[in-house]
Each structure stands twice: as structure tokens, then as C-alpha cells.
Amino acid sequence: MNTKFSMKIAGVAIAITMSSIGGAAAYTNYAGIDGFDPTTRLAAVTPLSMQFFCAKNRSECRGGSSAQVALTPKLMTMLKQVNVHVNRSIRPQADTADVWSLNPESGDCEDYVLSKRSMLIRQGVSSGSLRIAYTKTRQGEPHAVLLVRTSQGDYVLDNLNNSVKTLRASGYQIRTMSSVNPTRWTAG
């Protein structure tokens, strides 16, 4: 009898604790906490080809630094120049094996993304603001783009288009992408 009574008391205590914590959490102002992102993200598996690329090119896979950059006219000019330069430098070619390469003569969407990311980092853009993102083309095919997180929203650099567009204007829905650390990925 005492065991049943003790279990009921413990259950009531847990219920009271949970309801009081939940109420407090509902009124907490998380906006005042630096670096707190209340958005729930699901972990995603880092693509195997990215893992191989990073094993061979450790300096290209460093994470950290600022998660977003200030959008200035100078940055927008740089994004446009890098997008067009890399798009013209690599000849489109589907991979026979999914090997990600930096600055190849020919390659697929991931090769464009890695080359653009590397070039922007060398020009001083925070690596943490540059995200490798997977989406689908209008034809429904898997496609990688470079997403740049800015103070004015996310911008897309795409090998299928020489324009730098906002994520919304691109029409893409992100399925998975790298985080501030390019070896850690999250779902859309």
C-alpha cells in the first residue's frame, strides 16, 4: 500500500514540476540570449562525398566564424562576380562517381558550390555564413547550391543561373544543408 501511495505522490510531483517549468518557458524572452536560435532543426547525415572531400581538404572544411554577414553593396558585387566567374570556369558534366572537387575543369553542382565557397572565404567572407544546401530543380532532380546567410536574408549562388537571388526568389526549398560547421548538416 505504501508503495502505491509513494508512486502516486511522485507522479503528482512530476506533473506539478513539468507544468510549472512549461509555463515559465512560455514566458521566457529568448531574444535576449546571444546566439540562441529557437528554431528546431533536425540533424541530417553529412553526405559521404563531403566527408571524403573534407578528409582530403581539411583547410576547406573549417567551420566557425560568424553565422551571417552584413549585406553591403560591396558584398553583393563580390557574390555576383564569384557566381559568374565560377559558373564560366567549370564546364557542366554529370559525375560518373559522386566525387566532390575544388576548381575542376568540369563538374557537377557540388563542384561549383565548393569552388564558390572557397573563393568567397579567400576574399574574406565568413565561412560560417556560407552553407552548402540541397534542394531540387524545377524538374525534380537533386541539386546543390551555395546559400549565403546575410543580415538581409539568405541569398543563393547557383550554377544554373548567373543571378544572385534571395532564397525566396530562387524558388528553391532547402532539404538539407551544412551548418556553421560544414561537416555538420541539418534538415531543411
Beta bridge partners of 153: 150
Q: Which residues of 65-81 are buried (b: 16+ CB within 10 A; e: fewer)?
A: eeebbebeeebeebbee
DSSP class of 113: H
Whether pLDDT at 15 is above 50: no
CATH number at residue 57: 3.10.620.30
Q: Is residue 162 part of a domain?
A: yes
Q: Is residue 93 part of a domain?
A: yes
Question: Do strands 91-92 and 106-107 pair parallel, antiparallel, or not at all (unpaired)?
Answer: parallel
Same domain for 105 and 27: no
pLDDT above 90 as % of the chain: 68
Same domain for 86 and 8: no
Query: What gap in Å lies between CA 170 and CA 165, rounded to an integer?
Result: 6
Q: pTM of this prediction?
A: 0.76
Query: What gap in Å lies between CA 150 and CA 133, rounded to an integer?
Result: 15
What pLDDT was estimated at residue 94?
87
Same domain for 48 and 22: no
Q: Is residue 24 part of a domain?
A: yes
**Secondary structure, 3-state, 32-93:** HCCCCCCCCCCEECCCHHHHHHHHHCHHHHCCCCCCCECCCHHHHHHHHHHHHHHHHHCEEC
Q: What is the pLDDT of residues 98-119, one digit of tens each?
A: 899 999 999 999 999 999 999 9
Write out the residue range of the structural domain in which residue 105 sits.
Answer: 43-187
For the ranges 9-23, 48-62, 88-102, 108-122, the maximum mean pLDDT occurs at: 108-122
